[in-house]
Amino acid sequence: MGDEKVKDDALKMLGLFQVLPRLVVFDLDYTLWPFYCECRSKREMPSLYPHAKGILHALKDKGIDVAVASRSPTPDIAKTFLDKLGIQSMFVAQEIFSSWTHKTEHFQRIHRRTGVPFSSMLFFDDEDRNIDAVSKMGVTSIFVGNGVNLGALRQGLATFTQNSVPSETERNKRK
């Protein structure tokens, strides 16, 4: 499926949901691309997972900001690859640094930079420990097994909508 077809499908999908995140955050390694940066050379030409670019463009077209949270020990390679792929300028925040905090520090920085509350963020990652830690911060977090794709996007949007619907007790408090 080409980037334009994926983008069109993602835009249709985004149109089905009443509540959308203000910011979608992506891990890099094995989420946007199928490798670890530290195992590659800056001289190489990287590739994204097949649906990644179309999804990124659809989110931008819909007015939803995108950011990167990566625990890479080689941020220089990651940033070079984002540049080579022509997507570096798409991200409102790029927190790419080695860390033992399972991305909580990355999200604190993203929050400070963007002002977007954690509850208005959607996050995609391939590591359970990052999903668990970031979920506890109030971010809707989705595990991706083989990179971000339209199925993961649909799951993320559905889960985000569920998490955004006020509970019965919250609705009663407002009355």
Q: Where are the domains of the chain?
A: 3-13+21-161
What pLDDT does 174 receive? 47
Q: How confident is the model at residue 172 (pLDDT cuts 50, 70, 90)?
A: very low
Contacts (Cβ under 8 Å, ≥6 apart) of 66: 23, 24, 25, 26, 56, 59, 60, 90, 91, 92
Measured distance CA(77)–CA(73) in Å, rounded:
9
pLDDT at 21 over 90: yes
pLDDT at 79 over 80: yes
Task: Write out pLDDT tens, residues 62-72.
Answer: 999 999 999 99
For residues 130-154, average pLDDT: 96
List 29, 65, 125, 126, catalytic entry: 29
Q: How confident is the model at residue 169 (pLDDT cuts 50, 70, 90)?
A: very low
What pLDDT does 1 receive? 62
- For residue 156, give the amino acid letter: G
- pTM, entire model: 0.93
Is 125 marked active-site?
no
Taking Cα atoms as reference points, which of 129, 71, 77, 69 lies closest to residue 98? Answer: 71
Is 29 marked active-site?
yes
Contacts (Cβ under 8 Å, ≥6 apart) of 37: 28, 29, 70, 72, 74, 77, 78, 81
Q: How big is the chain by its Cα radius of gyration, in Å?
A: 16
Question: Does domain 3-13+21-161 match CATH 3.40.50.2300?
Answer: no
List 9, 27, 65, 125, catalytic entry: 27
Cα 102 versus chain centre, distance: 15
